[in-house]
Amino acid sequence: MIEVDGLSKRYGSTVAVDGLSFTVRPGRVTGFLGPNGAGKSTTMRMMIGLDRPSGGSVRIDGRHYRDLDRPLRRVGALLEARSTHPGRGARAHLRWLAQTNGLPASRVGEVLEQVGLTAAAGRRAGGFSLGMAQRLGLAAALLGDPPVLLLDEPVNGLDPEGIVWLRSLVRDLAAQGRTVLVSSHLMAEMALTAEHLVVISRGRLLADTTVAEFVAEHAGSHVRITTPDAARLRQVLGAAGVRVTDAADGAVEAHGVGTERIGELVAANGVVVHEIGMRTASLEEAFMRLTGGGER
């Protein structure tokens, strides 16, 4: 479990993180979302002692990261895929990490196979594509078989097959009872991967809730109607007190009612329609409404 309590970080007059508090619990994937510049990466860096907080604290399973013995056995982190020495081979890099943390050499081969890099184990990291560098960084995070994982934009550079593989992996790791925190700007992927969300903007907490509750609260649903007589339909719905908006493709969107009510209104007024369907808003739409689509 990760406990963030009143965490703050200032760089001179710039406030990167401002009194942030939340808890990441085991057994589920928690998505860490926010606009660019919201403070996500800074927060994750403070979790593992790469940046010193200006105030507040982070505890991992009740302890500060600096107090952990052999930290790779407790926390695995992927924060920057290109942090590996470019002249060192993938296997050599992982062997060095294993030796410094008292891990058996057998773990190196196991994690290389787990992330699909066995065939490239002898290649220098400097020649890796971004996707391969991400896989190597993930192998390093998994090396100590840790109960806590911090992954910052882990799908960057992965092809569609790799994204599906990573999604399955992180969900399986959480199902094993691990604490998994994943930061990503890909809303559609987070909707498929995460069960819980922590959303921040300008270093402050905006939401700490499930994905379903977040979407319901900040986006909601509407009825989508396609018709050859949109003007007549808008008139009928407006007279009945239904709020309507226009979709980009010409469809009419009705808010605050169900499909049954729309069906009754169009039938009673002789409006020709081609399709009536309930549309649930996406995580991306909910996120954009809450954050304004960018840094605030």
Beta bridge partners of 290: none
Q: Which residue from 256, 254, 293 is spatially nearest to 275, judged by alpha carbons? A: 254
Radius of gyration of the chain (CA): 24
Q: Which residue from 181, 112, 121, 123 is spatially nearest to 151, judged by alpha carbons? A: 181
In a domain, 296, yes or no: no
Whole-angstrom distance, CA of residue 293 vs CA of residue 287? 7
What is the full per-residue pLDDT of the chain (296 aa) written as tens digits?
999 999 999 999 999 999 999 999 999 999 999 988 899 999 999 999 999 999 999 999 999 999 998 899 999 999 987 778 888 889 999 999 999 889 999 999 999 999 999 999 989 888 899 999 999 999 999 999 999 999 999 998 889 999 999 999 999 999 999 999 999 888 888 999 999 999 999 999 999 999 888 887 877 778 999 999 999 999 999 999 999 999 889 999 998 888 999 999 999 999 999 999 988 778 888 888 888 754 43
Both tokens of residue 177? 């009872």
Of 182, 216, 250, the last residue of a domain is 216
CA 213 to centroid of chain Cα atoms: 16
Helices (H), 155-249: 160-175, 187-193, 211-218, 230-239
In a domain, 273, yes or no: yes
Same domain, 192 and 276: no
Whole-angstrom distance, CA of residue 137 vs CA of residue 263? 54
What CATH number is given to the structural domain containing 238? 3.30.70
In a domain, 228, yes or no: yes
Looking at the 3D structure of the chain, how many domains does it have?
2
What is residue 293's predicted lDDT score, i.e. its pLDDT? 57
Whole-angstrom distance, CA of residue 25 vs CA of residue 200? 17
Same domain, 210 and 225: no
- CB count, 10 Å around CB of 134? 24
In a domain, 44, yes or no: yes
* Tokens 């709020």, located at residue: 243
Q: List phi, psi (to 5°) of 239.
A: -65, -25
The 10s digit of each residue's pLDDT in 155-172 is: 988 899 999 999 999 999
Is the whole-model pTM more than 0.85? no
Sign (positive/negative) of CA torsion 255, 256, 260, 263? negative
User: Cβ distance 110 to 184 under 8 Å?
Assistant: no
Same domain, 262 and 145: no
177: containing domain: 2-216
| CA torsion, ordered 229, 231, 236, 239, to nearest 10 deg | 180
- CB count, 10 Å around CB of 164? 14
Both tokens of residue 136? 């190597």
In a domain, 289, yes or no: no
What is residue 80's predicted lDDT score, i.e. its pLDDT? 84
Q: Which residue from 48, 57, 45 is spatially nearest to 4, judged by alpha carbons? A: 57
In a domain, 295, yes or no: no
